[in-house]
Structure 1
Amino acid sequence: MPISRIAVGSPVEAGQADALKAALAEFISVLIFVFAGEGSGMAFNKLTDDGSSTPAGLVAAALAHALALFVAVSVGANISGGHVNPAVTFGAFVGGHITLVRSILYWIAQLLGSVVACLLLKFSTGGMTTSAFSLSSGVGAWNAVVFEIVMTFGLVYTVYATAVDPKKGNIGIIAPIAIGFIVGANILAGGAFDGASMNPAVSFGPAVVSWTWDNHWVYWLGPFIGSAIAAIVYEVFFIAPSTYEELPNADF
């Protein structure tokens, strides 16, 4: 069982050069991703008089996030594994592929990257609002939690299939493309209902900068549950114990 492989790690790990470099890579990757993704929504609002909630705005958001995530995962893959998402890091932790100590470093770096990206956006746009994620009319908090669970399950399952599975072979660039595509597709599916976060860091930065916390817990609970389920399902059913090995950062 993957749960038996969960490792806390040593506090010394937090000060090791490779762990700090990996955390820095996560900070930069999330900054790139959030700046492009959140910035695309702000730009669309400016060009269309707050039209980001229209069908065209949804398609633009899906495309921007898919492309930005492809780049963010690719540039971080050889250093930190290119998680770019606290939920992905949590899924890797549940599967025994990263220690709790390193996970905490990643989470701090990811959240800081999102906040800095939103601060840069607010400054460079002359004070435009970095809109926090919110629920659409008629969508309850628990409806949104289910959305986030299912969408994040799809994301983390894709990560496991293309980047974590020891049997994946040398698929190279396919993993970042697949990860970007599933996020873009999920935004098209859930963006009109709860914004389709799938990523607590993406929700955290705009919430901090705009200081809007309504239903913010949804964007943590749903992704963490979805990522844990995906990790356990893939580990139990598709990664045999005999093929398990600790993955170096270059692979994940």
Structure 2
Amino acid sequence: MTITPTPVIFGEKSSKPALHWVSSEWRGILAEFVATALLLTFGCMACIPMDDIPASDSIFGPLGFGFTVMFNIQIFGHISGAFMNPFVTIAAVIWGKISIATGVAYILAECAGATLGYGLLTTLAHIDIAAEAVCVTLPRSGINEFQALGVEMVLSAALSLINCGVWDPVNAHNSDSVPLKFAFTIVGLSYAGAHLTGASMNPARSLGPAIWANRWDIHWVYWVGPLVGGVLPAIFYKYVWLRKPDPKLQD
């Protein structure tokens, strides 16, 4: 989600055989698959209702997703970037951190990982979480699809700008606390929007539960909202706020 992965040279790789590309990129692709699977397993595990706490009053879901993002970044950040999110992956392509081919592979891995992660939880939970639509992102009653779209766009925009701030070379010396920064960011944004739309901010995160629960109520919102709300701020930040290195200072 946040860290620049180690294998990042792609102008040279694009002209090499596909086999070489696979041999050099499979670790990152696998890391995105596993990281997103863990995100859904542990994040949605925290969303399983407790007997004495109404689901709408629980902060365990935001905490579960936030802290899972934290340890995923610590584990996988130096391998793939620990994006775990298609819009973050697209932003990484736009910023030139990974190639288009790698970005496509990451997105497919993230969607597959999310599906597997939620599927694993269906076998571990003591209730039928798919039948009860646990962790399925749905707008609350009274919110129309365009309001839900707006909420997802705003939440994703905030997450995207924070992500770009971490990528900014000016903050390169502040990387030690990146996992914690994102943990608390996800907790805060999730708690702010969970009671409105489920605070997805991540198409893959919404896709996995939707497949298992077969719930597709305005599912398009959870793709368009994060992709538009997340990618546009990344473009804006790169071309407006990102300062180019001063050649005089590099001499």
* Bin of the TM-score, shorter chain as denominator length: 0.7 to 0.9
Tell me which residue corresponds to 1:227: 230
Conserved 8 A contact 1:27-1:113: yes
Deviates further, 217-226 or 16-25: 16-25
Tell me which residue corresponds to 2:8: none
Tell me which residue corresponds to 2:82: 82
Is 1:39 the counterpart of 2:45? The answer is yes
Q: Alpha-carbon deviation of 1:153? A: 1.0
Tell me which residue corresponds to 1:140: 144
What code does the residue aligned with 2:22 have?
Answer: Q
5+ residue gaps, structure 1, are: 1-6, 244-252
Write the deviation string for residues 165-219 of structure 1: whole angstroms up to 9, x where unpaired: 1221222332222122111111111111100000111101100111111111101
Q: Alpha-carbon deviation of 1:20? A: 1.1
5+ residue gaps, structure 2, are: 1-10, 247-251
Q: Alpha-carbon deviation of 1:126? A: 4.9
Matches within 5 A, 1:204-243: 204-242=207-245
Closer, same or farther: CA 233–13 of 1 in aligned 2, 3 Å: farther
Deviates further, 10-19 or 222-231: 10-19
Q: Alpha-carbon deviation of 1:133? A: 1.0
- For 1:147 and 1:90, the matched residues in 2 are separated by 20
Q: Alpha-carbon deviation of 1:123? A: 0.9
- The structure with the larger Rg is 2
Give the TM-score taking structure 2 as reference length.
0.85
- For 1:214 and 1:13, the matched residues in 2 are separated by 41
Aligned-residue identity in percent: 26
The 3-state SS of whatever aligns with 1:170 is: helix
The 3-state SS of whatever aligns with 1:48 is: coil
What code does the residue aligned with 1:138 have?
Answer: G
Matches within 5 A, 1:59-208: 59-126=59-126, 128-130=128-130, 131=133, 132-162=136-166, 164-208=167-211
The 3-state SS of whatever aligns with 2:129 is: coil
- For 1:105 and 1:223, the matched residues in 2 are separated by 19
What code does the residue aligned with 2:238 have?
Answer: E
4+ residue stretches of structure 1 with deviation over 6 A?
none
Tell me which residue corresponds to 1:18: 24
Closer, same or farther: CA 237–13 of 1 in aligned 2, 3 Å: farther
- For 1:228 and 1:38, the matched residues in 2 are separated by 25
- For 1:78 and 1:94, the matched residues in 2 are separated by 19
Q: Alpha-carbon deviation of 1:14? A: 8.4
